[in-house]
Amino acid sequence: GRPPPITLTACQDVLVPARRVVPRPVAGPRSVTTGVAALVPDDDGRRGWTLYVNGMESSHVDLDDPTRLDFEYMRWLSGAIEGLDRQDDALQVLHLGGGGCTLARYLQATHPLARQVVVELDAEVLELTRGTIHRDLRLARERLRKEVS
């Protein structure tokens, strides 16, 4: 059957495998709720992009290879997950902080039956990344809710 969806929660977005053409990311800074986010392309000829939030590296995504993990802590996390004694259908993951959804994309590629929920504080960061660096994902249902504290 079909793999389970990844859920992005900025309130609640459900992602399913896409079957459409996705626009190319646009480099540069944008205002988001928590400050400024910027997409910066790799300069090595590959189709990788880094998401910066308030000047700090937040996520790195390779549009052609979701298993490419440039950040060391992502390789640690993926190694820990790969070391678990579980089947794909038993793997359930809660990601706190989504950004570019690097680990969610990795797990969708390596464990397609895993159930995942991504929680991101800033809905505008998800808006920035969802249509571009989430190349193989699309929103099936959207219910973004802005919460003011």
Q: What is the pLDDT of residues 86-139, one digit of tens each?
A: 766 678 888 888 888 899 999 989 988 888 888 888 888 888 887 666 655 544
Task: Supply the pTM of this predicted model.
Answer: 0.75
Collapsing DSSP to helix, strand or coil, 103 comes out as: helix
Collapsing DSSP to helix, strand or coil, 97 comes out as: coil
Q: What pLDDT does residue 130 have?
A: 75
Cα–Cα distances in Å, from 127 out to 70, 111, 122, 138, 149? 23, 25, 9, 11, 20
Q: What pLDDT does residue 18 have?
A: 45
29 and 149 in contact (C-beta within 8 Å)?
Answer: no
Burial of 56 (0-12, 13-18, 19+ CB in 10 A): exposed
Q: 85 or 114, which is more confident?
A: 114
